A and B are shown apart, each in its own frame.
Chain A
């Protein structure tokens, strides 16, 4: 069949001070017209470099195509000059990027930037181009497109900007759309909307899509074919359904198993791929994956496995046959009732397994409710931020109601998960609990102490028991301090130790997070993201705290590393009796790690339930929509899409009545007028909805 894009034996190098660094090695892939191909792999695997090689944007980043060809509709892109390429970019091939917030020039209007593209390629008058841009914005689902045209990028939300970016990419009717992690920076609800939009547009504009993602769920949902990359090479390539049914390369298998899917057990260790992706300057010999591969043999260490084509799929592994045999054996094992039930969640629910499950659930709940003392008791907590005064004096001063009348408890030794879209107030709530910000009103009892009224020295003592792990492992560590000093600093503040004692404690702490004691003398930049997060964890547990706030602690990590860190957190909890508040937007991970989960929307807690219960029987329409937005890991089983429409409103002007009514499919007049209270609908399960499921 005629191919639209044909990449053959592509190798790419980067000029560095130490010579040419090989970033891509012999990459071949094809895309047919109308096909969606997903490129997956951890960061550093070469996905983005491949896409930039196609656009020939590498030339601007010291990159050089050292070998191979890239054909788009028969034209060899590697042989063209930048001038010739310019007429293809934006016209025949277009790109959508990861960060919609920074992908637009902030000083020109959205309209200007789209019209500029149209007029670069097509001989349209300004008015025609403007009208075309308006119709594109309308098509990608932007309300009031004529107003948006005249707005600046900073005035639109991330989701809206990504839609505008798609409109921009489509403006000259490209044949190939390259989307580089187009939804990674967005909430799951918006992600679901954008993915659905891309699917529709692909049909409408008859284009092909090359989608780059680290999220296998997305690949399962939208891709026709999946290409798995590792350290600059293609290691496996297969039609989506076949890959998810049976991966042929140990790396793909590892990736698939690392994902905390909806049927992993709480407490069960997540599968993780040991180690981390090698740096390009120190690639191992033989198969690049062998240092992390459970199947590796002498042969793997010595010889590079070729990409073998068989039955319409490719794999580069010496041991594919063994891998197939071992997983065939595993498949004979009967599936547990629980995992059956969770598959049921995506549409095939059976009455029997539900019955079994509910009894199990009830027993679990009763067991849990037996007198576990509370660590945190939060009642009527509010955090308002004043908005800059604007308009006439005398009018009520407006506030951003980041947290608005929230009450709940966190029990000793449990993990309390907190989920919700960005703007729902999760992080603010976390910071107020730790008294990093003062509450506007309400009480927080920590143990037997009311901590909202503490003076600064009493608060400092209380802080010893509450620590925090941050989202960004790069920003959370002082780059000029050694790891030993970073981990030892809290010890210096709260405990008087001799230098020797301190050094020993740091060594112990490093060991307990799985790092070598010799790392204490090194600096943060010498470590990978996963290792830095471990250092952050070591610092957090240095004082043997009772409570740790983990705010998006694993969101910035690759799936395989994410699994390692989640496992570590669970081990430490078991060993030290820690209590966690785990804030995240990745619902699967929260479900896996949490005992109970609270769902936040616009500053309100709308539902609290034990983690299994919440995912099985979500009672609030918002919770249900959030769960439905999670990309499904089983390809083919297309779910009945209940994609949540619209975006979260501004917390400065929350809607009347139930705050969710503007987006709720079931809203009635009562919802618009009356605010629902958080009421118990079952033991351990509360919801704030007039008409819970």
Chain B
């Protein structure tokens, strides 16, 4: 078991390293010179441009730049922003709590709505609650966040005036963004859990449980749900990626602080070290969460525990 966990951690490290190399290469290949956004080519002399290129190290061949970048990464140096020479890592760390709060609140929304509706709709198949659940599922996965976010803003902030339209201070500013983002996850989870519950309910052992004289409630919540959750847990791991990607849009729409906002701004300004840094940071978060999910799997499903 311990060996398996160490093995997983090692592959996780490989994934992080691989993904950041990939991002570095893609950014390198993108058209557009970062120097152009710092120095206006119509005014700067070619000597100035060349010296800035040299200063930034972008005149070096790809492999040298890559080695340089990773060498610094190992020392915890994410590089400096091109725009204001601020170090990237402290900036990410200072903004991350806001994103974490958003992601956590959204995850709570997604899991509560998703699991609850998923289970209820499977138990009361083809009843009104099932119809509602299916509609929530459909809306959740098909409404883009920038659209549903604006819709919520219009209704609850502008017309009703219950909640603030923007900012990231206090819980009130968190409500609408986390519902917007959480609905997406809820949509996926409702469908997933409904399907896997319906599958489990048809398993032979459910008949055994009924023949033992157990109540429907303990059959559904103690036995069927635990079996149905097994595939859903993987899904929750992947939702974290969904949340991080969603944060870019949500933080912009609701004018919140956070790493999503940082990367959105950095992309606009071609501030490559910042883009690179946020992606690297997100990759670490994503991979760690999925590592935790994999390990928690073995607590839910004894068959996995034996196999590892």
Show the binding face of A for B, using Cβ within 8 Å. Answer: 55, 57, 60, 82, 85-91, 94-95, 97, 99, 102-109, 116-117, 120-121, 152, 154-155, 165, 168
**Chain B residues, CB < 8 A from A87:** 213
How close is A394's CB to chain B, nearest CB, in angstroms?
15
Q: Contacts A57-B207, A105-B205: A88 and B213 contacting too (C-beta < 8 A)?
A: yes
Query: A97 touching B212 by the CB < 8 A rule?
Result: no
Query: B204 touching A106 by the CB < 8 A rule?
Result: no
Q: Contacts A106-B303, A107-B226: A86 and B215 contacting too (C-beta < 8 A)?
A: yes
Q: State A277–B15 Cα separation when bound (angstroms).
A: 58
How close is B292's CB to chain A, nearest CB, in angstroms?
20
Q: Contacts A105-B223, A107-B227: A120 and B212 contacting too (C-beta < 8 A)?
A: yes
Query: A116 touching B301 by the CB < 8 A rule?
Result: no
Show the binding face of B for A, using Cβ within 8 Å. Answer: 203-205, 207-216, 223, 226-227, 230, 300-303, 306
Q: Contacts A106-B227, A107-B300: A90 and B205 contacting too (C-beta < 8 A)?
A: no
How close is B209's CB to chain A, nearest CB, in angstroms?
7
Name the residue of chain A whose CB is nearest to the CB of B307. A388
Query: B302 touching A103 by the CB < 8 A rule?
Result: no
Query: A152 touching B303 by the CB < 8 A rule?
Result: yes
**Contact partner, A154, options B208, B211, B230, B303, Cβ 8 Å:** B303
Query: A107 touching B301 by the CB < 8 A rule?
Result: yes
How close is B305's CB to chain A, nearest CB, in angstroms?
8
15 A-B residue pairs with CB within 8 Å: A57-B207, A57-B211, A85-B213, A91-B213, A103-B205, A104-B205, A105-B205, A105-B209, A106-B205, A106-B303, A107-B301, A107-B302, A117-B212, A120-B213, A152-B306
Q: State A168–B208 Cα separation when bound (angstroms).
A: 10
**Contact partner, B208, options A97, A109, A155, Cβ 8 Å:** A97
Query: B211 touching A90 by the CB < 8 A rule?
Result: yes
Q: Contacts A105-B223, A106-B303, A154-B303: A116 and B212 contacting too (C-beta < 8 A)?
A: yes
Q: State A165–B207 Cα separation when bound (angstroms).
A: 13
How close is B44's CB to chain A, nearest CB, in angstroms?
60
4 further A-B pairs in the complex, CB-CB below 8 A; given A57-B207, A105-B227, A121-B213: A107-B230, A107-B300, A107-B301, A120-B213
Name the residue of chain A whose CB is nearest to the CB of B305. A152
Query: A102 touching B203 by the CB < 8 A rule?
Result: yes
Name the residue of chain B whose CB is nearest to the CB of A118. B212
**Chain A residues, CB < 8 A from B210:** 55, 57, 60, 89
**Chain B residues, CB < 8 A from A154:** 302-303, 306
Q: Contacts A55-B211, A102-B203: A108 and B303 contacting too (C-beta < 8 A)?
A: no
**Chain B residues, CB < 8 A from A99:** 204
**Chain B residues, CB < 8 A from A88:** 213
Name the residue of chain A whose CB is nearest to the CB of B229. A107
Query: A168 touching B212 by the CB < 8 A rule?
Result: yes
Q: State A579–B226 Cα separation when bound (angstroms).
A: 51
Please report whether the interface of chain B is mostly helix, strand, loop or mixed according to DSSP.
helix
Q: State A106–B305 Cα separation when bound (angstroms).
A: 12
Q: State A654–B302 Cα separation when bound (angstroms).
A: 27
Q: Which of A85, A87, A105, A154 has the most CB of B within 10 A?
A: A105
**Chain A residues, CB < 8 A from B303:** 106, 152, 154
Query: B205 touching A102 by the CB < 8 A rule?
Result: yes
Q: State A314–B155 Cα separation when bound (angstroms).
A: 76
Name the residue of chain A whose CB is nearest to the CB of B207. A57
**Chain A residues, CB < 8 A from B214:** 86, 90, 116-117, 120
Query: A94 touching B211 by the CB < 8 A rule?
Result: yes
**Contact partner, A89, options B205, B212, B227, B230, Cβ 8 Å:** B212
**Chain B residues, CB < 8 A from A94:** 211-212
**Contact partner, A90, options B212, B230, B302, Cβ 8 Å:** B212
Q: State A441–B86 Cα separation when bound (angstroms).
A: 66
**Chain A residues, CB < 8 A from B211:** 55, 57, 89-90, 94-95
Name the residue of chain B whose CB is nearest to the CB of A56. B210
Name the residue of chain A whose CB is nearest to the CB of B205. A105
**Chain A residues, CB < 8 A from B302:** 106-107, 109, 152, 154
**Chain A residues, CB < 8 A from B216:** 82
Query: B208 touching A104 by the CB < 8 A rule?
Result: yes
Q: Which of B210, B215, B216, B300 has the most CB of A within 10 A?
A: B210
How close is B206's CB to chain A, nearest CB, in angstroms?
8
Q: State A89–B227 Cα separation when bound (angstroms).
A: 23
Name the residue of chain B whose CB is nearest to the CB of A108. B223
**Chain B residues, CB < 8 A from A60:** 207, 210
Q: State A105–B211 Cα separation when bound (angstroms).
A: 13
Name the residue of chain B whose CB is nearest to the CB of A114. B212
Q: State A293–B125 Cα separation when bound (angstroms).
A: 44
Q: State A587–B212 Cα separation when bound (angstroms).
A: 35
Q: State A155–B307 Cα separation when bound (angstroms).
A: 11
**Contact partner, B204, options A82, A86, A97, A116, Cβ 8 Å:** A97
Name the residue of chain A whose CB is nearest to the CB of B210. A57
Q: State A116–B212 Cα separation when bound (angstroms).
A: 9
How close is B182's CB to chain A, nearest CB, in angstroms?
28
**Chain A residues, CB < 8 A from B300:** 107
How close is A129's CB to chain B, nearest CB, in angstroms?
13
**Chain A residues, CB < 8 A from B230:** 107
Name the residue of chain B whose CB is nearest to the CB of A101. B204
Name the residue of chain A whose CB is nearest to the CB of B223. A105
Q: State A276–B109 Cα separation when bound (angstroms).
A: 56
Name the residue of chain A whose CB is nearest to the CB of B216. A82
**Chain A residues, CB < 8 A from B226:** 107
Name the residue of chain A whose CB is nearest to the CB of B302. A152
Q: State A120–B212 Cα separation when bound (angstroms).
A: 8
**Chain A residues, CB < 8 A from B203:** 102
Q: State A106–B205 Cα separation when bound (angstroms).
A: 9
Nearest first, the 3 A-B pairs at minimum CB distance are A90-B213, A89-B213, A152-B302
How close is B232's CB to chain A, nearest CB, in angstroms?
13
How close is A450's CB to chain B, nearest CB, in angstroms?
38
Q: State A155–B303 Cα separation when bound (angstroms).
A: 8
Q: State A121–B208 Cα separation when bound (angstroms).
A: 15
Name the residue of chain B whose CB is nearest to the CB of A88. B213
Q: State A102–B204 Cα separation when bound (angstroms).
A: 6
**Chain A residues, CB < 8 A from B204:** 97, 99, 102-103
Q: State A154–B216 Cα separation when bound (angstroms).
A: 25
Query: A155 touching B212 by the CB < 8 A rule?
Result: no
**Chain A residues, CB < 8 A from B227:** 105-107
Query: A97 touching B213 by the CB < 8 A rule?
Result: no
Q: Which of B205, B209, B214, B226 has the most CB of A within 10 A?
A: B205
Q: State A88–B207 Cα separation when bound (angstroms).
A: 15
**Chain B residues, CB < 8 A from A85:** 213
How close is B194's CB to chain A, nearest CB, in angstroms?
18
Q: State A99–B306 Cα separation when bound (angstroms).
A: 22
Q: State A55–B211 Cα separation when bound (angstroms).
A: 7
**Chain A residues, CB < 8 A from B301:** 106-107
Q: Which of B203, B300, B302, B306 has the most CB of A within 10 A?
A: B302
Name the residue of chain A whose CB is nearest to the CB of B200. A105
**Chain A residues, CB < 8 A from B205:** 102-106
Name the residue of chain A whose CB is nearest to the CB of B201. A60
Name the residue of chain A whose CB is nearest to the CB of B204. A102
Query: B306 touching A155 by the CB < 8 A rule?
Result: yes
Q: State A103–B210 Cα separation when bound (angstroms).
A: 11
Q: State A94–B303 Cα separation when bound (angstroms).
A: 28
How close is B300's CB to chain A, nearest CB, in angstroms?
7
How close is B56's CB to chain A, nearest CB, in angstroms?
47
Q: Which of B213, B227, B230 has the most CB of A within 10 A?
A: B213
Name the residue of chain B whose CB is nearest to the CB of A102. B204
**Chain B residues, CB < 8 A from A90:** 211-214
How close is A97's CB to chain B, nearest CB, in angstroms?
6
How close is B186's CB to chain A, nearest CB, in angstroms?
25
**Chain B residues, CB < 8 A from A106:** 205, 227, 301-303
Q: State A407–B205 Cα separation when bound (angstroms).
A: 43
Q: Which of A91, A154, A155 has the most CB of B within 10 A?
A: A154
**Chain A residues, CB < 8 A from B223:** 105, 107-108
